[in-house]
Amino acid sequence: MDNVIFDVSKKNKTDYHNLGVLVFDGTHKFNNYESYKHRYSAAKPSKNIKFKIQCINHTVITIDTSGLIDGNYKVTALEFLYRSESNNDPLIFDLFLQPAGRTSSNLGNIEFKYKFREITADGNGSTVQLKSLKQIDELNDNILNQEYKALNSKLEIEINYDKGTHTVKAHKINDSIDACSVNVNVNGPEQLKGIDFVMYTYTFEGGGFVKLEINQTLYILKGFESSNFNDINLENITVYYHIHDGERKFPLFIQFKPKSGKEFGKHGKHNNKCYELESITQKNKDDEPNKFDCTYNTGDSLVNTKTRLQSIYQKENIKNNIEKMIGSNKSPVVAGTILAVFGFIGIPVGVLMYFHTPKIRSMLARIHRRF
């Protein structure tokens, strides 16, 4: 079946490409949605079957069905579910496999349902192993409506969020269609062991989105492509700061991590997409003190975290501007907070100075999170 191409633009009850494919009305019935079943009449039992799907924009994806079931099997049909009167790609992809020895009736088929965005996430020419994707257990109106809105959702976030859950209403790509609401969960600050830097981690839940924008009013990420990031391929974002930067004004390093088996654009599977602080430009005016732009360039993933973060921070343009704009208080944010707590409960000054040493900052960080 390697040369068989199922074309999602075909919705008429005719065969196409002379490959033994016939199109019929689908079996899924939902208000505002329609489905079409592409039956393959020339199926023969085999193992590790591959075939191709052609999208509306003529992108072609290779589908690898190996590992879905044991033994020999046949691909008997694909069913695509669309928004009614839509000229876009389908929302859902439904695969029908028939193990060798079973009858040709529908009862002999095993169904595997996926979001169509799952199979197109890696772009034209990619090969997708279905066994690595998350299946849909049961279709319902809520799943369809959420997926329809996800395709119209462009999420814009702040790169310097504080700890907590931030609910973000996605921007509409098409004003006539609703968009999703997404929760951005931010954990931190986590002090990195043995160095004066902290890390915040962003994860996403709720509705889906097809583009991720960063508010670049103050933070300019060179070469940032919003269409490379979505809820299908993005695992988390980690943002690193110097420990003195308690207001999170100057992210030093921003790292986007893909989900297992996913990639951002053509950046390569499992490869992080990273941006490191290149320069800080002050824009001070008489009535607007301490205004600045932070410019970021693409960088490699963190390997030696300590050396890398220190090298970024020690750049003259960066260190001088950060120290100037965060004030003269050089006590670490985490330790400084704990000193205030211990002082409140009557710990002597000499003991407080001991607590300020780097050796126990990790302990202070844990206590800080409890307060």
Question: Is the model's pLDDT at 345 over the cut of 50?
Answer: no
Burial class (CB in 10 A: 0-12, 13-18, 19+), 209: buried
Average pLDDT over residues 76-103: 92
pLDDT confidence band for 1 (50 / 70 / 90): confident
Residue 163 corresponds to which tokens in the numbers above?
């700890």
Residue 24 corresponds to which tokens in the numbers above?
């019929």
pLDDT confidence band for 124 (50 / 70 / 90): confident
If one counts the domains in the chain, the total is 3
pLDDT confidence band for 338 (50 / 70 / 90): very low
Range of the domain at 311: 153-325
Average pLDDT over residues 16-41: 89
CA distance 61 to 50: 10
All residues at 6 or more sequence positions from 176 whose CB lies less than 8 Å from its CB, including other chains: none
**Residue 307 DSSP label:** H
pLDDT at 13: 76
pLDDT at 35: 96
Q: Quick check: helix, strand or coil at residue 81?
A: strand
Q: Are residues 298 and 359 in the same domain?
A: no
**Residue 357 DSSP label:** S
Question: Is the model's pLDDT at 369 over the cut of 50?
Answer: no
Q: Which of 102, 127, 146 is the last residue of a domain?
A: 146
All residues at 6 or more sequence positions from 98 whose CB lies less than 8 Å from its CB, including other chains: 43, 73, 74, 76, 104, 108, 109, 110
pLDDT digits (tens, 9 = 90+) for 134-187: 999 999 999 999 999 999 999 999 999 999 999 999 999 999 999 999 999 999
Q: Are residues 20 and 63 in the same domain?
A: yes
Q: Are residues 306 and 353 in the same domain?
A: no
Residue 256 · residue 235 · CB < 8 Å: no
Q: Are residues 315 and 285 in the same domain?
A: yes
Residue 364 · residue 338 · CB < 8 Å: yes
pLDDT at 339: 37
Question: Is the model's pLDDT at 353 over the cut of 50?
Answer: no
Q: Are residues 159 and 228 in the same domain?
A: yes
Q: Are residues 23 and 167 in the same domain?
A: no
Q: Are residues 102 and 199 in the same domain?
A: no
Residue 315 · residue 349 · CB < 8 Å: no
Residue 354 corresponds to which tokens in the numbers above?
């001991």
Q: Are residues 112 and 161 in the same domain?
A: no
pLDDT at 259: 92
Residue 123 · residue 228 · CB < 8 Å: no
Q: Which of 85, 117, 146 is the last residue of a domain?
A: 146
Q: Are residues 20 and 163 in the same domain?
A: no
In the chain, what's the furthest Cα-to-Cα distance?
87
pLDDT higher for 145 or 337?
Answer: 145
Q: Are residues 110 and 141 in the same domain?
A: yes
Question: Is the model's pLDDT at 133 over the cut of 80?
Answer: yes
Question: Is the model's pLDDT at 17 over the cut of 80?
Answer: no
pLDDT confidence band for 95 (50 / 70 / 90): very high
pLDDT confidence band for 286 (50 / 70 / 90): low
Q: Which of 121, 146, 171 is the last residue of a domain?
A: 146
Residue 279 · residue 295 · CB < 8 Å: yes
Percentage of the chain surpassing pLDDT 70? 83
Q: Are residues 84 and 138 in the same domain?
A: yes
Q: Are residues 288 and 180 in the same domain?
A: yes
Average pLDDT over residues 327-336: 50
Mean predicted lDDT score pLDDT of the chain: 85
pLDDT at 282: 80
Q: Quick check: helix, strand or coil at residue 224?
A: coil
Residue 158 corresponds to which tokens in the numbers above?
């702040």
pLDDT at 371: 44
